[in-house]
Copies of this chain bind each other. A is one copy, B any other.
Amino acid sequence: MTGTTGQISRTAFARNQWYVAAYGREIGRELLARTILNEPIVFYRTQDGGEAVALADRCVHRRYPLSAGRLDGDTLVCGYHGFTYDTTGTCVSVPGQKRVPRTARVRSYPVVEQDSLVWVWIGDPESADPDAVPRAAHLADPAWRTVGGMETVECDYRLLVDNLLDLSHETYLHGGYIGTPEVAETPIVTEVDEGAGTVRVSRHMDDAACPPFYARSTGIEGRITRWQDIEYHAPCLYLLHSRIAPRGVLPEPDGSDPNAFHVEITYAVTPSTDRRVYDFWCVSRDFAQDDEDVTAFLHDLNHTVVMQDVDALDLLQRSLDTEPEGYQELSINIDTGGLAARRILTRLAAEGEPQPAHAPAAAR
């Protein structure tokens, strides 16, 4: 794993997978437009049932974005000529005539709302298994206090996966926030389950400086024992189980861990286009849950850290876009997890239905 060279391949999406489209709180009676895996989708919530609806964001008539229209009860009215759709995407009214053409319908997408997240399925609807949506139960668990947000990064989504799976960058890009020298110095242990599509990367620091992110939120003074256990469920869900304790304090023999602080860092990595990714991020903690100062501090500091990543990845993508064809990367031990993730993503993309890339929605 030391000194291997390679190159990131052309972007291909794993279509037969669940992706986070939005936080549940983002979807309501205002139309929300998101482009996911290059497909423009409009989201809204029904009036009574309050169910999330996902329809293709292009009117069948002249392909005007439906998200520029308005809701009439549970139907969606195009803002250009008034073609009107029900929640299944069936057109129920057109202007100037009573008869609605039979073929007048837009695609509707399977949706699952779970753990405060709204997941959408872009590929073959027959393959959409709601039970296969990966869990992030802490996000909706009152035992955890969660802050979060979403940023749009102008890069290939795999650059964000790379970023998250190799935390040694915390030392350099996020020094003074969440990074300390020990992160880059401490070797990692990587476990890959190619079949399940999961990658685990662990870095246990026995004796590390405490970065401001944890010093101020936990109140620990002095050095710490810091564990980072990454659990990536390709393609979308990334969990970082973070354990912070005064130096030398370990879990009890029975597995309980009353003297440590636990933070769950959750990311959902949802490709928007070939060069844009939605970066959903949450920080959940099991301590100081009612301390609003800690809540505000963790939100603001993590937002700062996320924006450092956004700026770096925007810059990296712009740089790659001007690189000559066939440029090389050089990978080392720290990249083991990221390279495994890339392999899994490549396989998942190949396993999906034939990449239609730019086939008409109507033909699917």
CB within 8 Å of B: which A200-241 residues = none
A293 within 8 A of B: no
B40-A324 in contact (CB<8A)? no
A327-B101 in contact (CB<8A)? no
Docked Cα-Cα span, A81 to B168, in Å, equals: 6
Contacts A101-B330, A327-B360; is A316 near B63 (CB within 8 Å)? yes
Contacts A81-B172, A172-B77, A361-B327; is A316 near B95 (CB within 8 Å)? no
Q: Which residues of the other chain, B, contact A332 by a CB distance below 8 angstroms?
A: 61, 94-97, 101
Q: How many residues of A contact B (CB 8 A)?
A: 68
**For residue A68, which residue of chain B has the nearest CB?**
B315
Docked Cα-Cα span, A169 to B82, in Å, equals: 7
Contacts A80-B172, A172-B81; is A61 near B96 (CB within 8 Å)? no
A359 within 8 A of B: yes
A185 within 8 A of B: yes
A residues whose Cβ falls under 8 Å from a Cβ of B = 2-3, 5, 38, 40, 58, 60-65, 68-69, 77-82, 94-97, 99, 101-104, 162, 166, 168-169, 171-173, 184-188, 312, 315-316, 319-320, 322-335, 356-363
Cβ-defined partner of A63 (8 Å) among B65, B77, B96, B329: B329
Docked Cα-Cα span, A209 to B195, in Å, equals: 65
**For residue A163, which residue of chain B has the nearest CB?**
B80
Q: What's the minimum C-beta distance from A275 to chain B, rounded to whole angstroms? A: 12
Q: What's the minimum C-beta distance from A157 to chain B, rounded to whole angstroms? A: 15
Cβ-defined partner of A359 (8 Å) among B99, B322, B324: B324
List 13 A-B pairs, Cβ < 8 Å. A3-B101, A40-B322, A79-B312, A80-B173, A81-B168, A95-B171, A95-B184, A96-B334, A97-B332, A323-B360, A325-B358, A327-B360, A328-B363
Docked Cα-Cα span, A322 to B357, in Å, equals: 11
Q: Which residues of the other chain, B, contact A331 by a CB distance below 8 angstroms?
A: 61
**For residue A166, which residue of chain B has the nearest CB?**
B81
- Having A65-B319, A94-B332, one finds 13 other A-B pairs with CB under 8 Å, namely A3-B102, A38-B322, A60-B329, A63-B320, A64-B312, A80-B169, A80-B172, A82-B171, A95-B332, A96-B184, A96-B332, A324-B360, A326-B363
Docked Cα-Cα span, A235 to B187, in Å, equals: 51
Cβ-defined partner of A323 (8 Å) among B58, B79, B186, B187: B58
Q: Which residues of the other chain, B, contact A79 by a CB distance below 8 angstroms?
A: 172-173, 312
Q: Which residues of the other chain, B, contact A94 by a CB distance below 8 angstroms?
A: 332
B185-A329 in contact (CB<8A)? no
A330-B78 in contact (CB<8A)? no
Q: Which residues of the other chain, B, contact A77 by a CB distance below 8 angstroms?
A: 172
